[in-house]
Amino acid sequence: MNTLTTKTASAQACGLYIGQHEFAILLRDGRRLVVPFVCFPRPEQATPEQRRHFELYSDGKMLHWPDLDEDIEIQHLVDGRLPVKTSDPLAAACN
């Protein structure tokens, strides 16, 4: 019997767009993810200037906001693993 095995590569970002209510990540494989700030408490409460000050590091596998001390692993976003604020009515969008 033959077994098919696949190796999943970590998602890598090559660009980031910061909007008023969400951020969009452009992945190296051409996909684009749009994530609402409501899913992440620190960026949600940040000023527009703080949100725009970000870094992509670890070969595009990590997103960091130095002013907010916030790190997000890109693969977690691809996998749909987002923190949820249960008190927020838009929290369902984070699942």
What range does the domain containing 46 cover? 13-94
* pLDDT in the model for residue 5: 46
Domain presence at residue 3:
no
Count of CB atoms within 10 A of residue 87's CB? 6
* pLDDT in the model for residue 81: 87
* pLDDT in the model for residue 13: 96
In this structure, what are the phi and psi dihedrals at residue 36, rounded to the nearest 5 degrees?
Answer: -70, 140
Domain presence at residue 6:
no
Structure tokens that stand for 82 in this block: 């987002």
Helical (H) or strand (E) element with 65 = strand 62-65
CA dihedral 19, 15, 68, 51 (to 10 degrees): -20
Domain presence at residue 2:
no
- Per-residue pLDDT tens digits of the chain, which is 95 residues long: 555 444 467 899 999 999 999 999 999 999 999 999 999 989 999 999 999 999 999 999 999 999 999 999 999 999 988 876 555 555 555 65
Domain presence at residue 8:
no
Domain presence at residue 30:
yes
Distance (Å, rounded) from C-alpha 51 to C-alpha 5? 40
